[in-house]
Amino acid sequence: MTLSALIIDDEQLAREELAYLLAEVGGVDVVATGANGIEAVELIEEHQPDMVFLDVQMPGLDGFAVIEKLMARRARSSVDAAPQAQLAPPQVALPQIVFATAYDQYAVRAFDVNAVDYLLKPFDRARVEQAVERVRGRLAGSTPGSLPELQIESLLRLLNRPQGASRTPQPAKLIVQAQSRLLLIDQAEICFAAIDDGVIRVVTQNFEGSSKCRTLEELLDLLDPAVFWRAHRGFVVNINHIREVVPWFKSSYQLRMDDKQKTEIPVSRAQTKRLRELFNL
């Protein structure tokens, strides 16, 4: 069964990247895209899609406010449609919501616990495919298009929590394994980290080692978010160790780092806007 979907994100590159990955995954028909929360509400009412890829942080009406409006309209619709006879009011279908977000990792995990899926920017093809399969499973086991209210209410409670409130302070130093040695290094020494075949390489100007973290998301939890940036799904860079920004194919960029190898790291299409903001390109 082909799923109908909307993509709502204020960044055009992010919309294009997600649409491209969904086309690769297959079985999803992107019926429309929108750039803000107001468009999201209108497009959802117009198309009644199976799923919506919804950016959390948008100017004006953010992703949480979109859900609040959908819930409010659902409540009003149920009351208006209830007949005067003692019959239960019909339920207005809501789409399955998949958040696309650069939110802090603790909030992302809360989304996952609440069984509402998420995609962390920059997007990863395998993760997009997993999100689609989760939606398929949810639709197969419930009323098509419905989203349990308890899940929505749990997400709305997150909106009222100060961002990062549960986040513990990042440690000043990290343990990196280099051969048989366990080295304690300052975060400032890290040039970048990359994941290769499930192993996270940590590269400094003087040596290279590996982290015991299983994913880049787990490593990011330990790093200073003001300094470390996930420029690509396979790389986390220390912006203070970027030596050069290199224009690349089709208005994309690569980062040349200041490690011994002068490693060149690609910037994903979804992160190009962030790069321009960082360096006023």
237-242 contact pairs (CB < 8 A, 24+): 237/191, 237/192, 237/265, 238/187, 238/188, 238/190, 238/191, 238/192, 239/278, 240/188, 241/190, 241/191, 241/192, 241/205
Beta-carbon contacts of residue 53 (< 8 Å; ≥ 6 apart): 5, 6, 7, 8, 9, 18, 98, 100, 119
* CA separation for the pair 26, 34 (Å, rounded): 21
Q: Can you say whether the dihedral through the CA atoms of 149, 153, 159, 162 is positive or negative? A: negative
Model pLDDT, residue 277: 80
Model pLDDT, residue 153: 53
Which of 70-74, 79-83, 158-162 is predicted most confidently?
70-74
* CA separation for the pair 231, 265 (Å, rounded): 8
pLDDT digits (tens, 9 = 90+) for 160-174: 444 444 444 556 788
Domain assignment present for residue 166? The answer is: no
**Bigger pLDDT: 14 vs 69:** 14
The burial of 190, by beta-carbon neighbours within 10 Å (0-12 exposed, 13-18 middle, 19 or more buried), is given as buried
Model pLDDT, residue 72: 77
Whether 97 and 73 map to the same domain: the answer is: yes
* CA separation for the pair 120, 270 (Å, rounded): 11
Q: Is the pLDDT of residue 254 over 50?
A: yes
User: Which CATH number is 52's domain given?
Assistant: 3.40.50.2300
Which of 121-125, 199-203, 268-272 is predicted most confidently?
199-203
The pLDDT mean for the chain works out to 80
Domain assignment present for residue 8? The answer is: yes
Domain assignment present for residue 168? The answer is: no
Domain assignment present for residue 165? The answer is: no
Structure tokens at 60: 């004006």
* CA 120 remoteness from chain centre: 2
Q: How far is CA 181 from CA 62, 176, 204, in A?
A: 47, 8, 15
User: Do the Cβ atoms of 215 and 198 come closer than 8 Å?
Assistant: no
Torsion of CA 110, 113, 116, 122, to 10 degrees: 60
Whether 193 and 111 map to the same domain: the answer is: no
Whether 106 and 203 map to the same domain: the answer is: no
User: pLDDT band at residue 90, thresholds of 50, 70 and 90?
Assistant: very low
Q: Is the pLDDT of residue 149 over 70?
A: no
Domain assignment present for residue 164? The answer is: no
Whether 143 and 189 map to the same domain: the answer is: no
Whether 204 and 85 map to the same domain: the answer is: no
The single-letter code of the amino acid at 5 is A
pLDDT digits (tens, 9 = 90+) for 20-52: 999 999 999 999 999 998 999 999 999 999 999
**Bigger pLDDT: 108 vs 231:** 231
- Residue ending a domain, choose from 134, 159, 184: 159
Count the domains in the chain. 2
Beta-carbon contacts of residue 87 (< 8 Å; ≥ 6 apart): none
Model pLDDT, residue 100: 83
With a pLDDT cut of 70, the percent of the chain lying above it is 77
Whether 189 and 139 map to the same domain: the answer is: no
Which residues constitute the domain of residue 44? 3-159
Whether 138 and 54 map to the same domain: the answer is: yes
Model pLDDT, residue 281: 67
* CA separation for the pair 249, 258 (Å, rounded): 22
Beta-carbon contacts of residue 261 (< 8 Å; ≥ 6 apart): none
Structure tokens at 46: 């117009």
Model pLDDT, residue 198: 84
Whether 266 and 147 map to the same domain: the answer is: no
With a pLDDT cut of 90, the percent of the chain lying above it is 38
pLDDT digits (tens, 9 = 90+) for 150-162: 455 555 554 444 4
